[in-house]
A and B are shown apart, each in its own frame.
Chain A
Amino acid sequence: NAGVTQTPKFQVLKTGQSMTLQCAQDMNHEYMSWYRQDPGMGLRLIHYSVGAGITDQGEVPNGYNVSRSTTEDFPLRLLSAAPSQTSVYFCASSHGQLGYTFGSGTRLTVV
């Protein structure tokens, strides 16, 4: 199994550009979530989903959109990139009371 796959691994954006970070899992997990990690800090929840068609905001949702049209995919959209969104982004998935499996991350720089 591939687990949780995130693309791209690295991205540089100019301020004001938009882009989508992709996240896919092949484990038929119902739960998926997006986090950002800034230097010296833990992970902060951006958005999460408890199933296809259901999404909710986390701790730091501003500037990001998500949708969950299928069980497998949970893309994260940056609407108008800002330097404050420079970070490492992680996607995770889980099912029931299993632990969370994380992708390898996307390192985003906004200049």
Chain B
Amino acid sequence: KQEVTQIPAALSVPEGENLVLNCSFTDSAIYNLQWFRQDPGKGLTSLLLIQSSQREQTSGRLNASLDKSSGRSTLYIAASQPGDSATYLCAVNNAGKSTFGDGTTLTVKP
């Protein structure tokens, strides 16, 4: 059974800091890994998708890495802004289904 763990559960940083969110998974037989953002009371917004054969993906200030052999992914956020405050979810995807971590709740203070 796939298990996904996200560390830390919560993180508070001052505006402008660079930060790293961590995701680990137990079964390396995956299609891809996806990072989502969820604002309170809202749905899931896809941020980055990394295929199992890829090592990293970048979008603007976000960079996600994947080390399938060790079962780890990181989401790097550069120059954090108050608008980045949200919960970030890591999802490990296979045919028909995703397994999610419990998320990291990020607060960026002005």
Asked if residues A97 and B32 are in contact (CB atoms below 8 Å), the reply is yes
Interfacial chain B residues near A7, Cβ < 8 Å: none
Assembled-state Cα–Cα distance A9/B104 (Å) = 26
Assembled-state Cα–Cα distance A5/B61 (Å) = 30
Assembled-state Cα–Cα distance A58/B99 (Å) = 10
Asked if residues A42 and B100 are in contact (CB atoms below 8 Å), the reply is yes
Interfacial chain B residues near A100, Cβ < 8 Å: 34, 46, 91, 93, 98
Asked if residues A45 and B43 are in contact (CB atoms below 8 Å), the reply is no
Interfacial chain B residues near A90, Cβ < 8 Å: 43-44
In the complex, which range does the number of interface residues on chain A fall in?
Answer: 20 to 34
Asked if residues B44 and A50 are in contact (CB atoms below 8 Å), the reply is no
Asked if residues B31 and A42 are in contact (CB atoms below 8 Å), the reply is no
B96 interface residue (CB < 8 Å to A) = yes
Interface residues of A in 47-75 (CB under 8 A from B): 48-50, 56, 58
Interfacial chain A residues near B44, Cβ < 8 Å: 43, 90, 102
Interfacial chain B residues near A50, Cβ < 8 Å: 95-96
Asked if residues A42 and B101 are in contact (CB atoms below 8 Å), the reply is yes
A contact residues vs B (CB 8 Å cutoff)? 31-33, 35, 40-45, 48-50, 56, 58, 90, 92, 94, 97-105
